[in-house]
Amino acid sequence: MSQSCVLCCGDPRHLRAAALAVGLVLAAVCPRTAYAAPITLTSTVSQNGINSTIGNGGVSFTAGTGWDFAGQDFASLASIESITITLTIFDLDTAPGNLDFNKVTLGLDGVNTGIRLNGFPDGVQSTQTVADQPRDPATQLPSTSVGTAIVSAIKTDGRLTGSLFSTDRPSNNGFQAPATFNTTLTITGQTGSGNGGNGGNGGNGGNGDHQWNLSLSNPNQSGPPGSFLVFDSVITNTGPDDLTLDVATLDFAAGADPSLYTFEFAPAFIDTLGIIPTSGYSGPLFIIQWLATVPVGTVGNGLVELGAATPGDPATRSAEFSASVVPSGASVPEPGTLILLATSGVAALARRRCKPRQGTTRQPRANC
């Protein structure tokens, strides 16, 4: 059975890999519209005229109760794909070369979206439109947990307030959001997969009868230069029959040149063709390789996300992970996951299995 692997490069520090077997690709053409559909929410509100400093935490810039999505189907929003905001700010200092470039992010109802509000120059009033997906504020990786928090906030009352978060704290850098200007927020995403057996309750994602879950057995790993790190997973399927996965994406960013490491889905996972039986899947999900010249001390963070075809519920599951480079011979905290390269370049499959000492809890030992 043939398989395809697509590598896409954007920011050189962020590579996005998607590995799909033929069976997964074929499953992707099955329609989802009966269970999920695109949705767009948009609202415009006045700015509140705030004149403050970015070092004061989540500083609100929307007037009143913020953006109001009344009359729109906000209750059916299940996931967010992109957020677009247009606002006018004076003297924010986030243009390239300015003091707070890459340091100010958008807040929605107190949730830091991780979306950087760059492009507002020093000493100038500027109107900008910024579009991005929810991100982890610390790693800048796409984050489903941040998106979920925003979805929960908007479902509470159909409103969102806007604010600015900054990593430049304490800071006396002042800014203004003139009240003579409006700000517009647009959210695009998907509706819930819902409970198809409950009549008009199709918007309640996560309540269907084909539940599944994803977890990583060893999400935080370390290895020396020239090693492979194998991340094992458990995919459960509590439905009455096979679960079909139609999307598998892997995001990973490390503090080293991308040519010094690789990452890909594990052959054992690809061989499933995206079909998860009711007994589930337990085994390797993806592999990170540190090449021999990667610097010791390099640290990377990532997100793996799987998507299920209907009637899989929810539509996606994700898990965060990390990997780091340690000196050869250093203790490795995750047993059973390190595959060392032989000098010939052929991988020597060697699992580390450590026995706990008598009278101690079952914890991995540094030296076996």
pLDDT tens, position by position, 172-194:
788 999 999 999 999 998 886 44
Identify how many contiguous H helices and E strands the chain contains and give both numbers: 3, 25
Closest C-alpha among 235, 204, 259, 200 to residue 308: 235
Cis peptide before 311 (omega within 30 of 0): yes
Q: Residue 112 in contact with residue 180, Cβ under 8 Å?
A: no
The better pLDDT of the pair 335, 3 is held by 335
User: What's the predicted TM-score (pTM) here?
Assistant: 0.52
Q: Dihedral (C-alpha) 76, 77, 79, 81: value to the nearest 10 degrees?
A: 140
Residue 363 included in any domain: no
CATH classification of the domain holding 77: 2.60.120
Q: Which tokens belong to 200?
A: 């008009």
Closest C-alpha among 197, 208, 234, 236 to residue 312: 208
Are residues 255 and 172 located together in one domain of the fold? no
Are residues 125 and 99 located together in one domain of the fold? yes
pLDDT digits (tens, 9 = 90+) for 306-340: 998 888 888 899 999 999 999 987 655 544 344 43
Are residues 247 and 171 located together in one domain of the fold? no
191, 221, 253: which is the final residue of a domain? 191
Count of domains for the chain: 2
Residue 147 included in any domain: yes
Are residues 227 and 343 located together in one domain of the fold? yes
Q: Which domain holds residue 65?
A: 38-191
Residue 203 included in any domain: no
CATH classification of the domain holding 214: 2.60.40.10
Percentage of residues in the chain having pLDDT higher than 90: 55
Are residues 141 and 56 located together in one domain of the fold? yes
Residue 368 included in any domain: no
Q: Which residues contact 152 (CB under 8 A, 6 or more apart)?
A: none
167 — pLDDT class (breaks 50, 70, 90)? confident
Are residues 343 and 222 located together in one domain of the fold? yes
- pLDDT of 231 over the 70 cut: yes
Q: Cα separation of 264 and 242, whole Å? A: 25
Cis peptide before 142 (omega within 30 of 0): no
Q: Which tokens belong to 267?
A: 């052959």
Q: Please tell me whether residue 17 adopts helix, strand or coil conformation.
A: strand
Amino acid at 118: N
